[in-house]
Amino acid sequence: MAIILVRAASPGLSDAAAAVRDIGGISHHGSLQCSSLLKKKPARRWMLCSLRYGCLGLDPWEVGRASSPAVYSSLAVNPAGEAVVSSEQKVYDVVLKQSALLKRQLRKPVLDVRPQDLEMPRNGLKEAYDRCGEICEENYVDDRGAAPRHMGHLWVFAQYLTSSVSAVWCRRTDELVDGPNANYITPTALDRWEKRLEDLFAGRPYDMLDAALSDTISKFPIDIQPFRDMIEGMRSDLRKTRYNNFDELYMYCYYVAGTVGLMSVPVMGIAPESKATTESVYSAALALGIANQLTNILRDVGEDATRGRIYLPQDELAQAGLSDEDIFKGVVTNRWRNFMKRQIKRARMFFEEAERGVTELSQASRWPVWASLLLYRQILDEIEANDYNNFTKRAYVGKGKKLLALPVAYGKSLLLPCSLRNSQT
């Protein structure tokens, strides 16, 4: 995931640019050398921002103009002006690991979980899988289209995960910090939950629902890392209520939502005829999780503010002339509208990236994923329809629009993979 280096007036960032130049950073999206473009001109200052998301004072469509030549790197800049590895690069490293597992079809050795080992009744595992499906049906969406804060996308993901077992684990994890007992959850409790996860992956499930997931893990090349990262996202919610920039927010979105995409790909499968790389399919699944979580954040600004939480980049708020106080007041102004337009544009860019990967999935998995994408993206339309009032109005997609979206999603699911269509033209 490329980082672009552009001119800016931020003090101290010229040193970061020099660091990138000296390293000769190479993006995994290309082989462009930083040193070939950077010139020693003392009057110029540079800042690092994501190629995909834009940055302070620069819109995505301005990137790449002749007056602002792009330099790709996997670096970002910390508050001290030092060049550091970006969140995008850290997450992409996880993507590479997951895709390698899938390509090699590795399976971690998991003990054979038998019903009698857990003192289950006859056909206990089948009942466990059935119960996972029931939990998803009961909990993921209400009539307004509302869903758990972190897991809003899982009600659809649940449909294509094996009997929803991974989705149920995600739901149970989310409930630790966002459920009725959230006020009593401590970091120690999350440590115990992570130990339970490790036991589950080692074939030592604690209960019936754990046994269903342990059984699924034995059948698919599912890695523990995304599960651990999701728990880390829950830890973040216990200690963090502000995000200085989008690099921080991106990592949070990966922890609590992007991880679900990485968990899901091994079970969903890639179409046999697809010519796309495994990494690109994983990246698209990650993008859908990020897009859904950004949509959750934009939908729930007012609700989060009542809890003292602001899941918006602080530096971008400041650039727009806004502050935490403006969020707590909850008044829609032109500044707020302009700020929201840019945030919505960014979320849609992630949805667009996700679209390119959905068609590469196995055909049986495409319909629910397309439905997730189309329905969740419509929440952004509803925010706009509410004149960007996400302080006192909750944007949701009505039943009628949901029903209309389903046949559209089904039609898209029948299309050939994009990679195959492109190869035929």
92, part of any domain: yes
99, part of any domain: yes
Percent of the chain residues topping a pLDDT of 90: 43
pLDDT, position 198: 92
Q: Which of 339, 332, 347, 410 is nearest to 378 (CA)?
A: 347
Task: For residue 127, report the phi and psi dihedrals to the nearest 5 degrees.
Answer: -65, -35
Q: With 60 as the cut, is the pLDDT of residue 23 above it?
A: no
Alpha helices by DSSP H, 140-277: 154-160, 165-178, 187-201, 208-217, 225-239, 246-253, 259-268
Name the band, by pLDDT with cuts 50, 70 and 90, for residue 215. Answer: confident
Q: With 60 as the cut, is the pLDDT of residue 157 above it?
A: no
Instruction: Specify whether the backbone of 278 is left (phi greater than 0), alpha (psi in -120 to 50) or beta.
Output: alpha
How far is Cα 360 from Cα 375, in angstroms, rounded to an integer? 20
Among positive and negative, which fits the CA dihedral 205, 207, 210, 215? positive
CB 267 within 8 A of CB 166: yes
pLDDT, position 16: 37
The answer for residues whose C-beta is within 8 angstroms of residue 204's C-beta and 6 or more apart is 111, 214
202, part of any domain: yes
Q: What is the pLDDT of residues 348-368, one digit of tens each?
A: 999 999 998 999 999 888 998
How many domains is the chain partitioned into structurally?
Answer: 1
Domain that holds residue 391: 85-106+124-416
Average pLDDT over the chain, rounded to whole? 75
**Structure tokens given for 395:** 């944007």
Q: What is the pLDDT of residues 401-421, one digit of tens each?
A: 999 999 999 999 999 898 887
364, part of any domain: yes
| CA end-to-end span of the chain | 27
Q: What is the pLDDT of residues 318-355, one digit of tens each?
A: 999 999 999 999 999 999 999 999 999 999 999 999 99
392, part of any domain: yes
Q: What is the pLDDT of residues 234-249, one digit of tens each?
A: 999 999 999 999 999 9
How far is Cα 201 from Cα 195, in angstroms, rounded to an integer? 10
Task: For residue 255, report the phi and psi dihedrals to the nearest 5 degrees.
Answer: -55, -50
| Lowest-confidence region among 90-104, 235-249, 381-395 | 90-104
CB 330 within 8 A of CB 305: yes
Task: For residue 308, report the phi and psi dihedrals to the nearest 5 degrees.
Answer: 80, 20
Mean pLDDT of 126-146: 59
CA atoms lying within 13 Å on the CB side of residue 409: 23
Q: With 80 as the cut, is the pLDDT of residue 219 above it?
A: yes
Q: With 70 as the cut, is the pLDDT of residue 309 above it?
A: yes
Percentages of the chain per state (helix, strand, coil), in multiples of 5: 60, 5, 35
Q: With 80 as the cut, is the pLDDT of residue 89 above it?
A: yes
Give the domain CATH number at 343.
Answer: 1.10.600.10
Q: What is the pLDDT of residues 262-295, one digit of tens each?
A: 998 998 889 999 999 999 999 999 999 999 999 9
Q: Which of 44, 28, 42, 43 is nearest to 5 (CA)?
A: 44
Q: With 50 as the cut, is the pLDDT of residue 216 above it?
A: yes
